[in-house]
Amino acid sequence: MNTYFAIVHKDPDSSFGISFPDLPGCFSAADSEDDLLVQAQLALTLFASDQDELPKSRSVSDLLEDPSIKTDVANGAFFIAIPLINASRKARYNLMLDTDLVAGIDRTARAVGMNRSEFVSEAIAVRLGEQVGAVVSRKVGMQTKSEVTSKKVSSAASMVLRSKTATKAEKSVAASALTQTGSPKETTSKKVASAASKILHDPKASKAAKSVAASALTQKTKKK
């Protein structure tokens, strides 16, 4: 697992600026300190998905040897650590799981167009992101990560739209995601982004709805 350090800047009356010194071109912004980790994770995820190989990360002490970074830190900038897990290699592992849990995994995985291994891997990746701020980078066969993600999001969005129990907000985000998957450079509206954020924080929201919501928020960062 490789950890990249992002440096955070904050000027008066401005958002927080996020940049990765070891990854030129990888940057983002956040409106509040609470959003820093999420936006940094998202920036690293998008950047890593477009790269065949990433440069080795430097430690904080090595980064501080750069005069410009040292000056930034002296003026109030600070570091946040974002672990990056390269999941391009697969290995077989034996896991002991409750039979009812496995049944639930299989049922939900089929609903969102995934197999059991993909679903469990995705769930672990999400937990790693929530607990330690990790980003999981994958290489998927001959298809690009964005193509595979697009198909899964479309499947999940269609299921949400057909669901009789989905909320109005969930269906709104799903409808938006279906149009976004065809045009990845379009920007999600503020209203849809707000609804997507609420869905991600709703413990009652379905896996499909959360998958679609996460995609909608990802599309929000892709500008024309």
* Of 160, 164, 165, nearest in space to 196 by CA: 160
| pLDDT value at 176 more than 70 | no
| pLDDT value at 73 more than 70 | yes
Task: Establish if 224 belongs to a structural domain.
Answer: yes
Q: Read off the pLDDT of each residue in 100-123 and give the average, rounded to a whole number.
A: 84
pLDDT at 60: 93
Task: Establish if 212 belongs to a structural domain.
Answer: yes
Tokens of 150: 């697009």
Per-residue pLDDT band at 70 (split at 50, 70, 90): very high
Q: Read off the pLDDT of each residue in 39-43 and give the average, rounded to a whole number.
A: 86
Domain count across the chain: 1
pLDDT at 184: 42
DSSP per-residue string spanning 134-183: -EEE---TTS-HHHHHHHHHHHHHHHHHH-SS--HHHHHHHHHHHHHTT-
Q: What percent of the chain has pLDDT over 70?
A: 61
Task: Establish if 68 belongs to a structural domain.
Answer: no
| pLDDT value at 9 more than 70 | yes
pLDDT at 161: 65
Q: What percent of the chain has pLDDT over 90?
A: 19
Task: Establish if 206 belongs to a structural domain.
Answer: yes
Task: Establish if 16 belongs to a structural domain.
Answer: no
Q: Read off the pLDDT of each residue in 60-66 and give the average, rounded to a whole number.
A: 94
pLDDT at 79: 95
Sign of CA dihedral 54, 58, 63, 65: negative
| pLDDT value at 207 more than 80 | no
Task: Establish if 35 belongs to a structural domain.
Answer: no
| pLDDT value at 104 more than 60 | yes
Task: Establish if 204 belongs to a structural domain.
Answer: yes
Tokens of 123: 């769930």
Alpha carbon 4 to its chain centroid, in Å, reads: 15
Query: Where in the sequence is the domain holding 211, given as residue range(s)?
Result: 140-224
- Please give the residue that has the higher pLDDT: either 163 or 33: 33
pTM check: above 0.85: no
Tokens of 108: 């939900």
Residue type, 214: A
CA–CA distance, 107 with 49 (Å, rounded to integer): 28
Q: How far is CA 22 from CA 45, 57, 81, 175, in A?
A: 15, 6, 12, 37
Tokens of 206: 């379905």
Q: Read off the pLDDT of each residue in 176-203 and give the average, rounded to a whole number.
A: 60
- Please give the residue that has the higher pLDDT: either 167 or 82: 82
pLDDT at 142: 34
Please give the backbone phi and psi of residue 143, each rounded to the nearest 5 degrees, phi first: -90, 150
Q: Read off the pLDDT of each residue in 84-112 and give the average, rounded to a whole number.
A: 80
Q: Read off the pLDDT of each residue in 113-135 and give the average, rounded to a whole number.
A: 75
Task: Establish if 172 belongs to a structural domain.
Answer: yes
Q: Read off the pLDDT of each residue in 51-66 and give the average, rounded to a whole number.
A: 91
